[in-house]
């Protein structure tokens, strides 16, 4: 076993036993349970803790509260990487409701036993705890909507593999929403090399730009890193005490260098397949028909809606019977329509080659629905008697 992983497993197993005995565990693995841990303290408000088993709260070893910021929705499947005593899984299960599911993944048997005990006490049935490594997630591809994690990814020796696995199991359009410790500047080598501090959340922390680069390399987009707590010298002094390091010399070196941050990213959804829309106009005096003094209001509205649709990425071809008669004759659907209904039945709108509308122009709402867009503003009439650029103006 990787030496970092072995020490993490041993220390977190001890933390689980500590919580099971009714003592507060802490990020650094201290056995006293007396002093407040500067990293893990004050993360959950009383309303969130209400109804949770006491041992779930005591075993909380995170550096943030991802469930408060992940915008979980009813019916979603959530995966917590390094779920520990289960507090974030239980909170997630409440948010996704009975139609959703919250899954916790942990490699430590003591933590899993504690988490399952907490689940039973909480009475939640939409919860599952799995044994496994976050570098090799035991779930199929494209199976979860949201991945959360609370000060765990920075403990992994192979963070690139963790992020690749997270990307693999997320559904297209799925979200990564994790709390983690991030470095904002230089970290002394002594701190990086101290295994106890690795377990304590600090030494394995990535520099902010490194984190962004690794997320992007795994395939994530929409990457955001939002600091939620900045650690000062006194935080460092409280944390480093008892770790066989020169606290006074080291504390000043980490002033403001470590932050707890909320990290957001997404697995890109497949590009929307936009329909091919063709509009076959009756004989008009110009390409838009919005010209002269006696202008059909329907053409004015459609010109505005057409401009809106094109601004939102919808491609629409438009053909004027007076100017492009061959386009009508060469399209079998249009030719058949004219043979049966005549030119007086125009305009004709085709969507992916099939008739969508006849005898009128589509509304903005119809264009938006066809393209998977939402209307952003009502149609507005362009100023003046005709459209800018019209050959008749």
Spatial separation of the C-alpha atoms in residues 327 and 333, rounded to whole Å: 11
Asked whether residue 272 is domain-assigned, the answer is no
If asked whether residues 158 and 299 sit together in one domain, one would say no
If asked whether residues 72 and 166 sit together in one domain, one would say yes
Asked whether residue 385 is domain-assigned, the answer is no
Q: Which of 247, 266, 285 is the last residue of a domain?
A: 266
If asked whether residues 43 and 92 sit together in one domain, one would say yes
If asked whether residues 347 and 210 sit together in one domain, one would say no
Q: Give me 212's structure tokens.
A: 């962004």
Judge if pTM exceeds 0.75. Answer: no
Q: Which of 220, 242, 266 is the last residue of a domain?
A: 266
In a 10 Å sphere around its CB, with 0-12 CB exposed, 13-18 middle and 19+ buried, how is residue 177 labelled? buried
Asked whether residue 376 is domain-assigned, the answer is no
Query: For 72-90, how does the pLDDT look when each residue is reduced to its tens digit (9 = 90+)?
Result: 999 999 999 988 888 889 9
Could you tell me which of 303, 184, 178, 322 has the C-alpha nearest to residue 255? 184
Asked whether residue 390 is domain-assigned, the answer is no
Asked whether residue 261 is domain-assigned, the answer is yes
Domain with 286 in it: 277-371
If asked whether residues 249 and 344 sit together in one domain, one would say no
Query: For 173-231, how does the pLDDT look when each residue is reduced to its tens digit (9 = 90+)?
Result: 999 999 888 888 776 666 655 544 544 555 577 889 999 999 999 999 999 998 888 77
What local confidence, expressed as pLDDT, does residue 125 receive? 93
Name the pLDDT band for 387 (thresholds 50, 70, 90): very low
Query: For 274-318, how does the pLDDT look when each residue is reduced to its tens digit (9 = 90+)?
Result: 788 999 999 988 877 777 667 788 888 898 888 888 877 788 899
If asked whether residues 19 and 102 sit together in one domain, one would say yes
Spatial separation of the C-alpha atoms in residues 30 and 36, rounded to whole Å: 11
Overall number of domains in the chain: 2
Query: In the predicted model, what is the mean pLDDT of residues 316-322?
Result: 92
Asked whether residue 184 is domain-assigned, the answer is yes
If asked whether residues 259 and 284 sit together in one domain, one would say no
């Amino acid at each position: 076993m990787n030496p970092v992983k072995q020490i993490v497993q041993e220390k977190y197993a001890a933390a689980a036993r500590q919580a099971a005995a009714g003592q507060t565990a802490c990020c650094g693995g201290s056995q006293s349970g007396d002093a407040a841990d500067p990293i893990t303290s004050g993360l959950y408000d009383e309303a969130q803790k209400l109804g949770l088993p006491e041992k779930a709260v005591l075993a909380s070893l995170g550096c943030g509260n991802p469930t408060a910021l992940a915008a979980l929705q009813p019916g979603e499947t959530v995966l917590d990487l390094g779920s520990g005593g289960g507090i974030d899984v239980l909170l997630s299960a409440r948010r996704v409701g009975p139609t959703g599911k919250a899954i916790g993944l942990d490699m430590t048997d003591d933590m899993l036993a504690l988490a399952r005990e907490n689940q039973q006490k909480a009475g939640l049935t939409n919860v599952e705890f799995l044994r496994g490594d976050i570098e090799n997630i035991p779930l199929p591809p494209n199976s979860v909507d949201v991945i959360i994690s609370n000060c765990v990814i920075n403990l992994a020796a192979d963070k690139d593999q963790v992020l690749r696995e997270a990307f693999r199991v997320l559904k297209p359009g799925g979200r990564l929403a994790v709390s983690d410790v991030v470095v904002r500047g230089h970290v002394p080598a002594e701190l990086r090399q101290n295994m106890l501090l690795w377990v304590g959340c600090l030494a394995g922390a990535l520099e902010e730009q490194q984190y962004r680069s690794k997320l992007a390399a795994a395939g994530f987009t929409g990457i955001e890193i939002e600091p939620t707590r900045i650690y000062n010298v006194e935080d460092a002094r409280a944390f480093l005490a008892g770790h066989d390091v020169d606290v006074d010399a080291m504390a000043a070196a980490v002033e403001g260098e470590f932050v707890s941050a909320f990290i957001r990213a997404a697995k890109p959804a497949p590009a929307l397949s936009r329909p091919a829309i063709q509009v076959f106009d009756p004989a008009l005096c110009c390409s838009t028909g919005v010209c002269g003094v006696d202008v059909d209001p329907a053409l004015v509205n459609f010109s505005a809606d057409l401009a809106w649709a094109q601004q939102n990425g919808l491609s629409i071809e438009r053909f004027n019977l007076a100017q492009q008669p061959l386009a009508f004759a060469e399209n079998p659907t249009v030719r058949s329509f004219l043979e049966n209904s005549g030119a007086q039945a125009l305009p004709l709108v085709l969507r992916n080659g099939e008739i969508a509308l006849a005898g009128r122009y589509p509304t903005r709402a119809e264009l938006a629905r066809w393209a998977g867009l939402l209307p952003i503003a009502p149609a507005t009439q362009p100023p003046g008697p005709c459209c800018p650029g019209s050959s008749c103006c």
